[in-house]
Protein backbone atom coordinates (compact mmCIF):
# COMPACT_ATOMS: atom_id res chain seq x y z
CA UNK A 1 0.00 0.00 0.00
CA UNK A 2 1.36 3.42 -1.00
CA UNK A 3 1.28 6.13 1.70
CA UNK A 4 -0.94 9.13 1.08
CA UNK A 5 0.96 12.13 -0.36
CA UNK A 6 0.41 14.12 2.87
CA UNK A 7 2.16 11.36 4.83
CA UNK A 8 5.32 12.01 2.81
CA UNK A 9 5.41 15.72 3.67
CA UNK A 10 7.25 16.48 6.89
CA UNK A 11 5.15 18.53 9.29
CA UNK A 12 6.26 21.97 10.39
CA UNK A 13 7.98 22.05 13.78
CA UNK A 14 7.26 24.29 16.75
CA UNK A 15 9.67 24.69 19.66
CA UNK A 16 9.74 26.89 22.74
CA UNK A 17 13.07 27.86 24.29
CA UNK A 18 13.83 29.84 27.42
CA UNK A 19 15.43 33.27 27.04
CA UNK A 20 16.19 36.09 29.48
CA UNK A 21 13.13 37.83 28.00
CA UNK A 22 10.84 34.86 28.64
CA UNK A 23 9.75 31.86 26.59
CA UNK A 24 10.43 32.21 22.87
CA UNK A 25 8.52 30.04 20.41
CA UNK A 26 9.64 29.28 16.87
CA UNK A 27 7.51 27.82 14.06
CA UNK A 28 9.75 26.39 11.37
CA UNK A 29 8.88 24.64 8.13
CA UNK A 30 11.41 22.98 5.86
CA UNK A 31 14.29 24.82 7.58
CA UNK A 32 12.75 28.31 7.39
CA UNK A 33 11.19 30.25 10.26
CA UNK A 34 7.59 31.18 9.51
CA UNK A 35 6.77 32.89 12.80
CA UNK A 36 8.31 33.42 16.23
CA UNK A 37 7.88 35.46 19.36
CA UNK A 38 8.07 35.73 23.13
CA UNK A 39 5.31 33.40 24.26
CA UNK A 40 4.90 29.76 25.17
CA UNK A 41 1.52 29.70 23.41
CA UNK A 42 1.95 27.92 20.10
CA UNK A 43 -1.43 29.22 18.94
CA UNK A 44 -0.20 32.82 19.36
CA UNK A 45 2.68 32.09 16.98
CA UNK A 46 0.48 30.33 14.42
CA UNK A 47 -1.93 33.26 14.73
CA UNK A 48 0.74 35.62 13.37
CA UNK A 49 0.34 33.95 9.95
CA UNK A 50 -2.34 34.49 7.33
CA UNK A 51 -4.68 31.49 7.27
CA UNK A 52 -3.42 30.51 3.81
CA UNK A 53 0.16 30.33 5.13
CA UNK A 54 -0.47 28.07 8.14
CA UNK A 55 1.12 24.64 7.60
CA UNK A 56 -1.31 21.74 7.33
CA UNK A 57 0.54 19.77 9.98
CA UNK A 58 2.57 21.03 12.94
CA UNK A 59 4.36 18.94 15.55
CA UNK A 60 6.43 19.81 18.60
CA UNK A 61 10.12 19.19 18.07
CA UNK A 62 13.52 20.75 17.65
CA UNK A 63 14.05 23.62 15.23
CA UNK A 64 17.27 24.58 13.49
CA UNK A 65 16.73 28.22 14.54
CA UNK A 66 16.79 27.55 18.30
CA UNK A 67 20.62 27.46 18.31
CA UNK A 68 20.71 30.94 16.75
CA UNK A 69 18.40 32.26 19.49
CA UNK A 70 20.70 30.84 22.17
CA UNK A 71 23.76 32.34 20.42
CA UNK A 72 22.04 35.74 20.11
CA UNK A 73 21.27 35.82 23.81
CA UNK A 74 24.84 34.68 24.57
CA UNK A 75 26.13 37.81 22.81
CA UNK A 76 26.48 36.76 19.16
CA UNK A 77 23.98 39.27 17.78
CA UNK A 78 24.76 38.25 14.19
CA UNK A 79 23.63 34.66 14.83
CA UNK A 80 20.08 35.49 13.77
CA UNK A 81 21.13 37.05 10.47
CA UNK A 82 21.65 33.84 8.52
CA UNK A 83 18.53 32.01 9.75
CA UNK A 84 16.26 31.43 6.76
CA UNK A 85 12.78 32.93 7.03
CA UNK A 86 9.76 32.59 4.77
CA UNK A 87 7.17 35.35 4.61
CA UNK A 88 4.30 35.92 2.22
CA UNK A 89 3.10 39.42 1.43
CA UNK A 90 3.03 42.21 -1.08
CA UNK A 91 6.13 43.27 -2.98
CA UNK A 92 6.53 46.25 -0.63
CA UNK A 93 6.12 44.09 2.48
CA UNK A 94 8.72 41.59 1.28
CA UNK A 95 11.13 44.43 0.47
CA UNK A 96 10.48 45.90 3.91
CA UNK A 97 11.15 42.63 5.69
CA UNK A 98 14.41 42.26 3.75
CA UNK A 99 15.35 45.83 4.71
CA UNK A 100 14.64 45.12 8.39
CA UNK A 101 17.28 42.38 8.27
CA UNK A 102 19.82 44.99 7.16
CA UNK A 103 19.37 47.24 10.21
CA UNK A 104 22.56 46.97 12.23
CA UNK A 105 22.21 45.99 15.90
CA UNK A 106 22.69 49.06 18.08
CA UNK A 107 21.74 51.44 15.23
CA UNK A 108 17.92 51.47 15.16
CA UNK A 109 16.00 53.49 12.60
CA UNK A 110 12.92 55.62 13.06
CA UNK A 111 9.81 54.72 11.08
CA UNK A 112 10.63 57.74 8.88
CA UNK A 113 14.18 56.47 8.36
CA UNK A 114 12.86 53.00 7.61
CA UNK A 115 10.41 54.41 5.03
CA UNK A 116 13.27 56.36 3.44
CA UNK A 117 15.41 53.20 3.33
CA UNK A 118 12.55 51.59 1.39
CA UNK A 119 12.69 54.45 -1.11
CA UNK A 120 9.37 55.93 0.01
CA UNK A 121 10.12 58.59 2.67
CA UNK A 122 6.48 59.67 2.89
CA UNK A 123 5.22 56.11 3.45
CA UNK A 124 5.67 56.13 7.23
CA UNK A 125 2.34 54.37 7.90
CA UNK A 126 3.21 51.66 5.38
CA UNK A 127 6.59 51.21 7.08
CA UNK A 128 4.87 50.81 10.45
CA UNK A 129 2.44 48.30 8.93
CA UNK A 130 5.34 46.24 7.58
CA UNK A 131 6.73 46.03 11.11
CA UNK A 132 3.33 45.14 12.57
CA UNK A 133 2.84 42.29 10.08
CA UNK A 134 6.28 40.79 10.65
CA UNK A 135 5.75 37.21 11.82
CA UNK A 136 9.32 35.90 12.43
CA UNK A 137 10.21 38.34 15.22
CA UNK A 138 13.87 38.54 16.22
CA UNK A 139 15.02 36.93 12.94
CA UNK A 140 13.48 39.86 11.07
CA UNK A 141 14.29 42.50 13.69
CA UNK A 142 11.36 44.89 13.56
CA UNK A 143 12.23 45.81 17.16
CA UNK A 144 14.99 47.97 15.67
CA UNK A 145 12.47 50.53 14.38
CA UNK A 146 11.47 53.41 16.69
CA UNK A 147 9.18 56.40 16.65
CA UNK A 148 10.60 59.79 15.75
CA UNK A 149 12.48 61.10 18.77
CA UNK A 150 13.43 57.58 19.89
CA UNK A 151 10.19 56.52 21.62
CA UNK A 152 9.72 52.76 21.46
CA UNK A 153 6.41 52.73 19.63
CA UNK A 154 4.57 49.42 19.50
CA UNK A 155 5.80 45.84 19.54
CA UNK A 156 3.66 42.72 19.30
CA UNK A 157 5.56 41.06 22.15
CA UNK A 158 5.48 44.00 24.56
CA UNK A 159 7.55 47.08 25.15
CA UNK A 160 9.60 45.44 27.93
CA UNK A 161 10.89 42.84 25.46
CA UNK A 162 11.61 45.54 22.86
CA UNK A 163 13.43 47.65 25.45
CA UNK A 164 15.49 44.64 26.55
CA UNK A 165 16.46 43.70 22.99
CA UNK A 166 17.51 47.26 22.16
CA UNK A 167 19.53 47.54 25.38
CA UNK A 168 21.28 44.22 24.63
CA UNK A 169 22.11 45.40 21.11
CA UNK A 170 23.28 48.84 22.28
CA UNK A 171 26.07 47.14 24.23
CA UNK A 172 27.51 45.60 21.06
CA separation (Å) from 68 to 26, 74, 85, 135? 11, 10, 13, 17
b/e 10-45 (16+ beta carbons within 10 angstroms → b): eebbbbbbebebeebbbbbbeebbbbbbbbeebeeb
Q: Which of 115, 151, 116 is nearest to 131 (CA)?
A: 115
**Residues tagged active-site:** 142
Amino acid sequence: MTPAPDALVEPAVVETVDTPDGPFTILEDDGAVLASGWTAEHSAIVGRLRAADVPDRIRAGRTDAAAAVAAYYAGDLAAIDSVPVRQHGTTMQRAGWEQLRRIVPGAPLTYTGFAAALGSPAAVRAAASICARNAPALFVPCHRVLRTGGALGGFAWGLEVKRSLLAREALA
